[in-house]
Structure 1
Amino acid sequence: MPRKRPGRVRTKNTNRREALKLSTIAPEDYNVRPGEVKSIACPDCRTWRRLMGDTVLKIREHCISDKVADGEKHVTCPGSHQLVVIDIDVRRWQARQDRLLRDAMPQENRRAARQFYKPLPAPAAPVTRIHAEVTLETARRAYLAHLEECVRCGTGQHCTHGGVLAHRYVLLRNEEPARREARKQTAPAARRAQWSERGGETVETANNRCRQWPKGTVSEYRGPQVPTEPLRINA
């Protein structure tokens, strides 16, 4: 990026006035920000003019009227070639001006000097990678839900995730008869273990002494006809 060269002072003439100190004028009537063109509001015509020079600053020569091109007479402003002295702390002035600009800004346009960005949530793991207890019904629902959303699986060919879900569903479907048989064999043993853990016949006998039961009823635990095997109804 090319460096901006300061405007050269082409004449040594001045308006023979005492040098204008920035500390004696309003802070909003000049601009001496580093990296920007230095400018000031002329104390005579109150128009913004450029400050020429690097070490010795002067207000650029200008006329009173801005309509010289329209035919008006060119009249030099008395504030031309006015010497200007920077006798302020530029950093402190800049900080104060930034604060004033920020306070004058509408509330909806303000923002903190430091931005805090909310971290994006991690993407959810695919259904095929979730490690949880999978039953035949949950595998079937996951497979059907994927078929409704996936375009490729709707044409008859499975995608990568669809193939995994289909394989899981078929595998659980083939293993379901063996699981039912295992549950059938372990159900009576599990009930006997629960009965012995709760006290068995001692609890039942103590409960029967509290009230009279109808004829044919052993107790409220058993009832007249309580099956000992799981009831399986074949469709």
Structure 2
Amino acid sequence: MTTRTRDLTAQQRPRRVRSRAVSSLPTLVVSSLKPHEVDLAFSTLVCPTCRTWVPISTPHSSRPKLVPHHTEKAGTEDPVRCPGSHRLVTVNLTADQWFQRLEEGLTQTNGRRSTRVIRKPKTGLAPAVMQIVGGTVDDKTARKLDEAHVRGCSICSVKDDKGNVLRAADLTARCTDGRRLAQLAAHTKRLAPARRKAQMDHEDWNDRRAWGMRLLREQQWQNVSEPVADTDLRRIRDTLAALIQMLNPRKADAPQLTDWERADLMSAITLLATQEEQFTR
């Protein structure tokens, strides 16, 4: 008599079983599960005990139940039988009703607002106009800006009885913009010689670089000028020989050229002969 040995690995879960065993757990109602934990199209659901997908044996019969299954995947060593095996299932939903509940759940999930708080970045104080143009204007522009401000500001100018501007007020008596413009004019005037020298050095460097690039191009052209000239001369001679052969064909049965075609060939031959003479000088 043969003895049955115990399987040491988890087996593939069957779709249908003929066992009459019934689990002692209460009947599992499909409508009580979440829509995404049920798939009535393939008659499977998530086992509440082991949280794995398990087929429903004979879902359209009078007593559908979960097929026997292990808690691990198929092929796992030392398998453990899930207590939810052979658990009775009550299928009280049709496939259309389940699909409608699934769509409604997806709509509600997609319509939820994010709970993450996105804080707006703090905006810093905008710099004054003098701070913006401080590094971009030269001494002449800064002096003109200071003079224009003195003419238009009643605090920064000293006027006579008729309202004519006599001179600029002292630096301590000026307004905020007037003091900044005066400091900007003095600063740019102090840095003007160094800025002009740096600009002249930059222009001189650009001129020397352009001169060096021109010499480099001339040197490179001298290295390849002779092969290029030989290639052009060979091309002109080959084209000239082909045109002369078309003008005076060697075969007696060759097609005759019209007067217009002969005139075009003569013009092309004359032009190529002139170019050959220029190359051979």
Instruction: Report if TM-score (shorter chain) is over 0.5.
Output: no
Q: TM-score, normalised by structure 1?
A: 0.36
**Normalised by the size of structure 2, how large is the TM-score?**
0.30
Between structures 1 and 2, the one with greater helix share: 2
Higher radius of gyration, 1 or 2: 2
